[in-house]
A and B are shown apart, each in its own frame.
Chain A
């Protein structure tokens, strides 16, 4: 232990590390390993056929595809919203700023019901979209809308402080050197917010993958079409197929883990390219 220990003015390294490990084990590691242990009740062929059933594969595609699309959209619009909130004074700015956090605070089922009501064929927005041939509620598009809704604050809240910290002088310096507004954004501002932007993307993406409450109402849950993986797990549990449910859970766990790993590597790379002072 003493080899890890570095001198510090604050005592309690051993105690703090021990507590951290215990806490992480109890809260994260043990529940997660239980999923693996539970799924081990299945034989390998059983496991394989469960997790590769067409209905299950379609749900992976929807969950990860819609989550990715929602995170990408949130990255663009989140940056835009953060930019507007940081740069421009306008009436009601504080209110708008507070609104951003609403998807954080709102119970997901409330969000789900509200979105369904608005986008259903007879809803406020749905009634205008339907004649145009755009069906949102009870389709994969609805899943995407719900995931976009819940992911927005992540990007805004990670990018906002970074944008606020960018000194005005940097932009002035770029302008004095002859850069256009676009060049200033592209070469000076964007590289500075990129690390925060990827973090925001990762958080929005991760949140969307795990989202359940807001999606199941608007999705309609049509097998093969608009059924998300978390819902399939619930369905299996309701049929007392615990082993099958955990098998799908394990697959999700592994994919999520790999994706987060990739994103973290990407972040590490971005950070090293744009080292901070």
Chain B
């Protein structure tokens, strides 16, 4: 099923939760709504579900206007962050609920319900828990049951509101992989909300990055990570180092470091910010002819194949510490120790000149 959203807006009092949202969810894709809290991602999901009504705009399911359709008629499966399982019912009854409440004519008979529920419990690999009550299950198990319950009514769309938000890190990782696999098997159009960028990058086909009720960027995980559309997306996705500098006629300066910036050949002495991912920073002990920034090592974290260095710049091109990630081999080769003087050079950086408001972002 295709979901289309046209010009959707919603206010809560003076707070703008959704500001003119336009979005298309393709059939069978797993889409992530990613953003910090208060960015409107959950509100958007709830409007799609019909749990919330928008002030203006439309929600189309398969090109059919569903804006005023009742929740019951939307054929949407919804998974809540805190599971929302029915406490007084067994796991079996929880999953069977959606089938049992159907109007008599459409209701499957007892053996059919039995078959269907058993099938779903096998799908989530928890058929041995059928007679238990929700409080006897762990968080991860509860969330899988909640998913089975949502799938019982054979929804054409699956919506998940921070499905792993209440779980601990290890279970989260397991469930993430499991959800991805489940989606690949079932190919049901799914939208999930998360504030965890790692989760979105790992699971989703496409990511919608939201901030303050607006969509900042839509793209595949690779696109949003490698080509962030604006400073917000850059800072929100992954670790990043921020440098202050200036752009002038196709060149950028960050401290003593000069970089070519042909796309800004028209720029006339603008202040700019530059972003560099930690793994795009080269570290060396000596200056070898090329311009580089001087820094000294504040902290070394050498666990695993990647060594994380915390560096302090000489000048204040960078407001905070600079983080660099180098391989263990390189780390051994350089024989770095805390307090050592090093020179750093970005392999790749992205510039965002402050056209109108000089330095107002930071």
A74 to chain B, nearest CB (A): 24
Contacts of A191 in B (CB 8 A): 88
B84 touches A177 (CB 8 A): no
- Number of B residues contacting the other chain (C-beta, 8 Å)? 26
Q: Choose among A176, A177, A180, A274 the residue that contacts B87 (Cβ–Cβ < 8 A).
A: A274
Q: Do the beta carbons of B149 and A177 come within 8 Å of each other?
A: yes
Whether the pair B71, A176 counts as a contact (CB closer than 8 A) is: yes
Return chain A residues, CB-CB under 8 Å to B98.
177-179
Alpha-carbon distance between A127 and B159 when the two chains are bound, in angstroms? 61
Q: Which residues of chain B in 122-136 are interfacial with respect to chain A, using CB atoms and an 8 Å cutoff?
A: 133-135
| Chain B proximity of A198: nearest CB distance (Å) | 14
CB <8 Å contact, A277 and B80:
no
Contact B86 A176 (CB under 8 A): no
A172, B101: Cβ atoms closer than 8 Å: no
How distant is the Cα of A174 from the Cα of B97 in the complex, in angstroms?
8
Q: How far is it, in angstroms, between the C-alpha of A16 and the C-alpha of B98 when the chains are bound?
A: 51
Q: Which chain B residues border A176 with CB–CB below 8 Å?
A: 49, 51, 71, 76-78, 150
- Complex interface residues of chain B between 56 and 92 (CB less than 8 A to chain A): 71-72, 76-78, 80, 82, 84-89
Contact B78 A277 (CB under 8 A): no
Nearest CB of A to B104, in Å: 12
Residues of A within 8 A of B102 (CB): 178
Secondary structure at chain A's binding surface: helix, strand, loop or mixed?
helix
Minimal Cβ-Cβ distance residue in B for A177: B98
Q: Residue of A at shortest CB range from B134? A: A277
Contacts of A275 in B (CB 8 A): 87-88, 133, 135
Query: Which residues of B sit under 8 angstroms from A192, Cβ to Cβ?
Result: 87-88
| Residue from A177, A183, A192 with most neighbouring chain B CB atoms (10 Å) | A177
CB-based nearest B residue for A277:
B135
A87 at the interface (CB under 8 A from B): no
- Residue ID in chain B nearest A169 by CB atoms: B84
A276 close to B97 (CB less than 8 A): no
Is B153 positioned at the interface, with any CB of A under 8 Å from its CB?
yes
Closest CB of chain A to B3's CB: distance in Å?
16
B84 touches A173 (CB 8 A): yes
**Beyond A173-B80, A174-B86, A277-B87, 6 additional pairs, beta carbon < 8 A:** A169-B80, A169-B84, A173-B85, A177-B149, A177-B150, A179-B72
List the interface of chain B (C-beta within 8 A of A): 49, 51, 71-72, 76-78, 80, 82, 84-89, 97-98, 101-102, 133-135, 149-150, 152-153
Sort A-B residue pairs by CB-CB distance and give the 8 closest, nearest first.
A277-B135, A177-B98, A274-B88, A169-B84, A191-B88, A173-B84, A179-B101, A176-B78
What are 10 A-to-B residue pairs whose CB atoms are below 8 Å? A170-B84, A170-B86, A172-B84, A173-B85, A173-B86, A174-B86, A183-B101, A187-B86, A192-B87, A277-B134
